[in-house]
Amino acid sequence: MRTDGFAARTARLGGVAVALAAAACGGGPATPPPAAPTTVFDPSGATAAPAPIDITTNPEVEQPYPPLDGTAAGGARWTGVSVLHGAVRFTRPPGWSIRDASVELGHGFVRYVSRDAYSFAIYERDESAGASWKDIEEHYEADVTGNGAKAIGLRIPMATGTNQGRAYTVDRKIESKDPVLSRSREILLRGEHHVVLVQVVSTEENLSRIAGELLEVFLHLEVD
């Protein structure tokens, strides 16, 4: 993947790789997330749906962040972006598009879809960044259970290039004519001022096919 600054951060790869691998284990098949405008679930615990916005024209959804621009192996250009009112910055690959988003303070999120058949979302958590990991984990796990989901792999320590995190594997039943199981890999990340949840939903049993791309994203993901 990208070569600029990569060597200085390779020590972080082990923790991210372990978290992705552990989160990929076990369970049955997964399905794509539900169609917009609903999210897989509301990780903020809000009871009201986020206010709808025009993702094509609202400049608050995503802004350029040139310091994280770069070139991947093979010459593809990766784009540095800032989301959630500047609380999160990361680099994203070509071929991602924004599916839906909210800029509501305290309950903001942005969800991308990839041409490689997975979604990548970042949700703002209504948490104090100064809270203990135990409190952050228990609040999130209560939200998961309250939404009828089940965490089958949880509290796996990991780190991005700048932040500490905890990884989960979460199963949810999606009601339809033939009920199906949706599996997501979800990572709580804590910065100095913010706590966010990163959610990856794929149609595949594990993330091995897209692990290299996800490692690059997480390696250059910064939470304030």
Domains and CATH numbers, the chain: 7-223 (3.40.1000.10)
Predicted local confidence at residue 33, as pLDDT: 42
- The one-character DSSP state at 193 is S
Q: What is the C-alpha separation between 46 and 104, in angstroms, rounded?
A: 11
Predicted local confidence at residue 161, as pLDDT: 86
Q: What is the C-alpha separation between 152 and 162, in angstroms, rounded?
A: 27
pLDDT digits (tens, 9 = 90+) for 63-114: 999 999 998 777 889 999 999 999 999 999 998 999 999 998 888 999 999 9
pTM of the model: 0.81
Q: Answer yes or no: are the C-beta atoms of 80 and 66 closer than 8 Å.
A: yes
pLDDT greater than 70 at residue 37: no
User: What angle (nearest 5°) sits at the alpha carbon of residue 155, between those of residues 122 and 185?
Assistant: 40
Q: Shortest CA distance to 224 belongs to which of 173, 198, 190, 181?
A: 190
Predicted local confidence at residue 173, as pLDDT: 78
Tokens of 36: 């917009």
